[in-house]
Amino acid sequence: MRFADELKHAVTPRAALLVIGCLALQLLFITSYVGALHHPKPRDIKVAVVAPGGAAEQFTGQLNKLPGSPLDARPLASEAAARAEMLNRDIDATLLVNPRGGKDDTLLVASGQGGSETRVLEQIFTEVAAKQQRTVAFRDIAPASAQDANGLSSFYLVVGWCVGGYLCAAILAISAGARPANRKRAVIRLGMMALYAIVSGLLGAVIAGPILGALPGSMWGLWGLGALTVFAVGALTLALQGIVGVVGIGLAILIIVIGGNPSAGGAFPGPMLPGFWRTIGPALPPGAATWVARSIAYFKGNNITGPLLVLSAWAVAGAAVTMIAASLRRPSPEEVLLDTAPDDRADGTGGATLDTGSRA
């Protein structure tokens, strides 16, 4: 056989298209990660200013006029109000101007939301204070765990859950001998996905919490988050496979890995990401889950309703599309024959019953 014939049999047109798709995913991966993370630049980090008299407006105006608009500052009436908003994750930091008229100020930060943002805030306010011939001390009111370097453990935990979600869904749909889903198989696969999500969510929470001590906060809360995250990603993957077949796995990777991970606020929180990634991050499972994980670990579970609704929407939509795609799909004649054949295990004849019928 000539080489050209061997090549034709070795690389079919379908395989060639899949290879081209693989190359496209690879290039998109590089573009997304490098584009999002190569040059983090703070923009509109939410900051409060607490100062005596009318000084708050003056300091707020100065901070909002910094080159590049790194801060979005607004005045607040008291330190207590500022602390409450920080713990609710409505603002990221608070400048406490010395109430006695001195030049020694304090910046309240929360490193639990990400060490990179905290370092940037400290750098910005150190430079501003030096220009104004003032000093600033830093006080961390929601510090990251000593076992959670740079506050990244929540992000890596979510990444692990997401990987498990789409890999499990892919295995359920393309494992050896598996046929495309009809309604019954779709229900079974979604049920298996839910069971896997519950188990993997618990094990991930146990590893990150009690075993490694990386994340404080409620282990039960992390378990629930993990189960919802895994199921949402798995249901999405099953839905995409139900619509476009094996290509759906690539689309799931496009949404979760290429779009979701760099925009999740892991290495760099949202205010430090370029506009595109900052916009899509909260709407994708990795970003929503990372926000919730950090809130559970360091912010008393505050301000998580929106992200949980995002994850729930992906889970419900994925399950619904999976069922709809399975219901609309018309089985091939071979599948009908296999579905209506007697159960081999019941009569102990192996494949003999089906073979005899086909000969007849």
SS (H, E, C) 28-97: HHHHHHHHHHCCCCCCCEEEEEECCCCHHHHHHHHHHCCCCCCEEEEECCCHHHHHHHHHCCCCCEEEEC
Rounded-to-integer distance, Cα 265 and Cα 286, Å: 9
Entry pTM: 0.87
Residue range 225-247: average pLDDT? 94
pLDDT at 54: 81
pLDDT at 4 > cutoff 70: no
pLDDT at 252 > cutoff 70: yes
pLDDT at 339: 54
pLDDT at 348 > cutoff 50: no
60-69, 168-177, 341-350, range with greatest mean pLDDT: 60-69
The 10s digit of each residue's pLDDT in 7-45 is 666 667 877 888 898 899 999 999 999 999 999 999 999
Rounded-to-integer distance, Cα 302 and Cα 290, Å: 13
Rounded-to-integer distance, Cα 61 and Cα 73, Å: 8
Return the bridge partners of 139, or none. 108
What phi and psi values does residue 74 have, to the nearest 5 degrees? Answer: -150, 150
pLDDT at 119: 94
Task: Band the pLDDT of 187: cuts 50, 70, 90.
Answer: very high
Which strand (E) or helix (H) includes residue 109?
strand 104-109
pLDDT at 352 > cutoff 50: no
pLDDT at 359: 35
pLDDT at 207: 97
Q: Which amino acid is at 264?
A: A
pLDDT at 176 > cutoff 80: no
User: How confident is the prediction for the chain on average, in pLDDT?
Assistant: 88
pLDDT at 50: 96
What burial class does residue 216 get, using C-beta atoms within 10 Å of its C-beta: 0-12 exposed, 13-18 middle, 19+ buried?
middle
pLDDT at 346: 45
Task: Report the percent of the chain where pLDDT is more than 90.
Answer: 73
pLDDT at 355 > cutoff 70: no
How far is C-alpha 239 from the chain's CA centre? 18
pLDDT at 136 > cutoff 90: yes
Please state which of the ranges 16-20, 240-244, 298-302 shows the lowest mean pLDDT: 16-20
pLDDT at 356 > cutoff 70: no
Residue 244: how many other CB atoms lie within 10 Å: 13
What phi and psi values does residue 105 have, to the nearest 5 degrees? Answer: -105, 175
Rounded-to-integer distance, Cα 150 and Cα 33, Å: 19
Rounded-to-integer distance, Cα 177 and Cα 185, Å: 13
Rounded-to-integer distance, Cα 298 and Cα 20, Å: 44
The 10s digit of each residue's pLDDT in 76-90 is 999 999 999 999 999
Q: Which residue has the tokens 């496209």?
A: 24
Whether the CB-CB separation of 154 and 215 falls below 8 Å is answered with yes
Which strand (E) or helix (H) includes residue 293?
helix 285-298
Rounded-to-integer distance, Cα 355 and Cα 333, Å: 16
Whether the CB-CB separation of 150 and 114 falls below 8 Å is answered with yes
The 10s digit of each residue's pLDDT in 307-328 is 999 999 999 999 999 999 988 8
293: its two tokens: 């994980």
Residue range 152-158: average pLDDT? 96
Contacts of 68 (CB under 8 A, 6+ apart): 41, 42, 43
Residue range 185-190: average pLDDT? 91
Query: In terms of DSSP bridges, do strands 93-96 and 104-109 run parallel, antiparallel, or are they unpaired?
Result: antiparallel
Q: Which amino acid is at 164?
A: G
pLDDT at 320: 97
Task: Band the pLDDT of 149: cuts 50, 70, 90.
Answer: confident
Residue range 191-213: average pLDDT? 96
